[in-house]
């Protein structure tokens, strides 16, 4: 038996001509490379931009980008000029009396402290970000710390480009919820997060994408989970015209648990892709992924979910479900589950459904006097709210329901 192979780029050959978007990245690099490499990160950044120069942005011929042809979709980077006069963003969970900043240590991004790596030749998100990242959060949560409110950070994209790289270490036994938001009128943004979940820690990481529909957002979370720890990643996509959220998780310690919850609200003309690569590397670990999608108008959605179980990872229990509600005949959603199992004593399952509203639910609501359209709206909302209910923090739960309601009012 072989160890689980890394995903590799296939059918990739050097390019002869660049697209406008590719050329724009390279022009940006020439203009900024002196500043970007000032702190001695030249090698890593050169490697990243070099990969892009060699292969360009990935096309549908690259397996991991098959349903999101980035080269064809990201034609240019002609986003409006960056503006800094946007109003400040309020946190989703607000507290009246303030909280004491005890239990963590945070600093701004600095390239000499953050590794500017990427994950192989098909990792366009990692490459673009490694080349250009110039801001982000660098944070350590102290062992045993816990917090009354989520720790929130937001990227405001108002034109131009924003490339952020976050490094978060959660030490043993800490209990913390993060909220990472992308907001603003839009532009070109990338966000790469490295998250280390220490032993016995309990971490919830919420990603909320709510930029305007003119925006491109490419994001990646790379997480490792140590023994007896739990990580829940919650992704709410409610904006952006071209969005890719990658979730790469390594379950490295026994009795660790990983949960992914995703709500993709995909409106007319939007393309939203959630791609997960999950590796169970040791015995006795669990994971569950539930993705719910609503597609309105001519929206396009993608969920790729890959679960790899190493040959030593016996007693792995992994479940994956992707359910889609298409509100029109014009929208579509592509879902691709992949299981690569090298151990022989595991329970792994996946399911994908395209659902209509359940007639018995409709009848029950209507029999109480709720007219058909209103009953439909209740059920559509319930379809995704059910996922948000899993969040323990009631205030955060309500804030996310508010974002979902706002989207449904406009689009459904």
Partner 1 sequence: MLEIKDLHAKIADTDTKILNGLSLTIEPDEVAAVMGPNGSGKSTLSYVLAGREDYEVTGGDILFNGESVLDMEPAERAASGLFLAFQYPVEIPGVPTLTFLKTAMNAQRRARGEDELPTPDFIKAVKAAAGDLNISMDMLKRPVNVGFSGGEKKRAEILQMALLAPHMCVLDETDSGLDIDALKIVSDGVNRLRADNRGFLVITHYQRLLEHIVPDTVHVLYKGQIIQSGDKALALELEENGYADIIEKAA
> Residues in the site for partner 1, rule: CB under 8 A?
359-361, 363-372, 374-375, 378-379, 381-386, 389
Nearer to partner 1 among residue 352 and residue 379 (C-beta)? 379
Nearer to partner 1 among residue 52 and residue 388 (C-beta)? 388
Spatial distance between the Cα atoms of 258 and 254, rounded to a whole number of angstroms = 12
Nearer to partner 1 among residue 256 and residue 387 (C-beta)? 387
Closest distance of CB 113 from partner 1, Å: 43
Closest distance of CB 43 from partner 1, Å: 50
Rounded to 10 deg, the angle between the 372-388 and 359-366 helix axes is 120
Dihedral-angle region of residue 45 (phi above 0 means left; psi in -120 to 50 means alpha; beta otherwise): alpha
Structure tokens at 137: 């959060």
Q: What are the residues whose beta carbons fall under 8 Å from the beta carbon of 166, sequence distance 6 or more? A: 109, 136, 137, 138, 139, 153, 180, 191, 192, 193, 194, 195
Closest distance of CB 165 from partner 1, Å: 36
Closest distance of CB 366 from partner 1, Å: 4
Spatial distance between the Cα atoms of 219 and 207, rounded to a whole number of angstroms = 10
Nearer to partner 1 among residue 4 and residue 379 (C-beta)? 379
Nearer to partner 1 among residue 115 and residue 372 (C-beta)? 372
Q: What are the residues whose beta carbons fall under 8 Å from the beta carbon of 239, sequence distance 6 or more? A: 182, 209, 210, 211, 212, 213, 215
Spatial distance between the Cα atoms of 237 and 410, rounded to a whole number of angstroms = 15
Nearer to partner 1 among residue 46 and residue 386 (C-beta)? 386
Residue 131 near residue 49, CB atoms below 8 Å: yes
Closest distance of CB 375 from partner 1, Å: 8
Rounded to 10 deg, the angle between the 124-132 and 42-55 helix axes is 140
Query: Residue-wise over 13-49: b if at least 16 C-beta within 10 A, else e?
Result: eeeeebbebbebbeebbeeebeebeeeebeebbbebb
Nearer to partner 1 among residue 341 and residue 370 (C-beta)? 370
Nearer to partner 1 among residue 76 and residue 405 (C-beta)? 405
Closest distance of CB 247 from partner 1, Å: 23
Spatial distance between the Cα atoms of 373 and 366, rounded to a whole number of angstroms = 10
Spatial distance between the Cα atoms of 116 and 179, rounded to a whole number of angstroms = 22
Closest distance of CB 351 from partner 1, Å: 16
Nearer to partner 1 among residue 90 and residue 367 (C-beta)? 367
The candidate with the shortest Cα–Cα distance to 184, out of 150, 151, 209, is 209
Dihedral-angle region of residue 159 (phi above 0 means left; psi in -120 to 50 means alpha; beta otherwise): left
Any idea of the CA torsion for 22, 303, 192, 45, to the nearest 10 degrees? -30
Closest distance of CB 250 from partner 1, Å: 32
Dihedral-angle region of residue 136 (phi above 0 means left; psi in -120 to 50 means alpha; beta otherwise): left
How many residues can be counted in the chain? 412
Closest distance of CB 388 from partner 1, Å: 9
Nearer to partner 1 among residue 330 and residue 374 (C-beta)? 374
Closest distance of CB 94 from partner 1, Å: 22
Nearer to partner 1 among residue 249 and residue 375 (C-beta)? 375
Closest distance of CB 288 from partner 1, Å: 16
């Amino acid at each position: 038996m072989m160890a689980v192979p890394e995903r590799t780029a296939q059918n990739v050959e050097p390019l002869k001509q660049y697209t406008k978007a590719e050329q724009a990245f390279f022009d940006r690099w020439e203009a900024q490379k002196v500043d970007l490499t000032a702190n001695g990160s030249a090698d890593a950044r050169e490697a990243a931009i070099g990969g892009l120069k060699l292969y360009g942005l990935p096309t549908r011929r690259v397996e991991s980008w098959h349903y999101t042809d980035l080269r064809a979709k990201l034609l240019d980077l002609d986003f409006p000029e960056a503006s800094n006069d946007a109003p400040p963003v309020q946190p989703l969970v607000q507290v009246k009396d303030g909280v004491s900043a005890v239990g963590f240590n945070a600093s701004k991004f600095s390239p000499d402290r953050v590794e500017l790596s990427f994950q192989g030749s098909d990792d366009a998100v990692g490459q673009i970000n490694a080349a250009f990242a110039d801001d982000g959060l660098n944070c350590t949560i102290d062992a045993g710390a816990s917090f009354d409110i989520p720790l929130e950070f937001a990227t405001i994209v108002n034109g131009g480009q924003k490339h952020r790289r976050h490094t978060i270490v959660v030490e043993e036994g800490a209990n913390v919820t993060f909220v990472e938001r992308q907001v603003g009128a839009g532009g070109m943004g990338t966000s790469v997060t490295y998250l280390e979940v220490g032993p016995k820690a309990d971490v919830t990481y919420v990603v909320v994408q709510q930029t305007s529909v003119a925006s491109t957002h490419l994001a990646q979370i790379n997480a490792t989970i140590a023994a007896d720890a739990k990580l829940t990643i919650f992704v709410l996509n409610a904006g952006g015209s071209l969005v890719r959220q990658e979730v790469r998780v390594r379950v490295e310690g026994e009795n660790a648990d990983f949960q992914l919850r995703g709500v993709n609200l995909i409106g007319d003309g939007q393309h939203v892709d959630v791609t997960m690569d999950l590796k169970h590397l040791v015995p006795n670990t669990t994971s569950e992924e539930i993705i719910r999608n609503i597609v309105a108008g001519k929206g396009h959605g993608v969920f790729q979910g890959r679960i790899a179980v190493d040959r030593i990872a016996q007693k792995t229990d992994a479940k994956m479900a992707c359910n889609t509600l298409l509100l029109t005949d014009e929208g579509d959603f592509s879902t691709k589950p992949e299981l690569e199992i090298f151990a022989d004593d595991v329970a792994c399952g996946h399911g994908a459904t395209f659902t209509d509203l359940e007639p018995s639910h409709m009848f029950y609501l209507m029999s109480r006097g709720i007219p058909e359209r209103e009953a439909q709206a209740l059920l559509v909302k319930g379809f995704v709210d059910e996922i948000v209910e899993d969040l323990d923090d009631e205030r955060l739960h309500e804030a996310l329901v508010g974002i979902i309601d706002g989207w449904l009012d406009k689009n459904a």
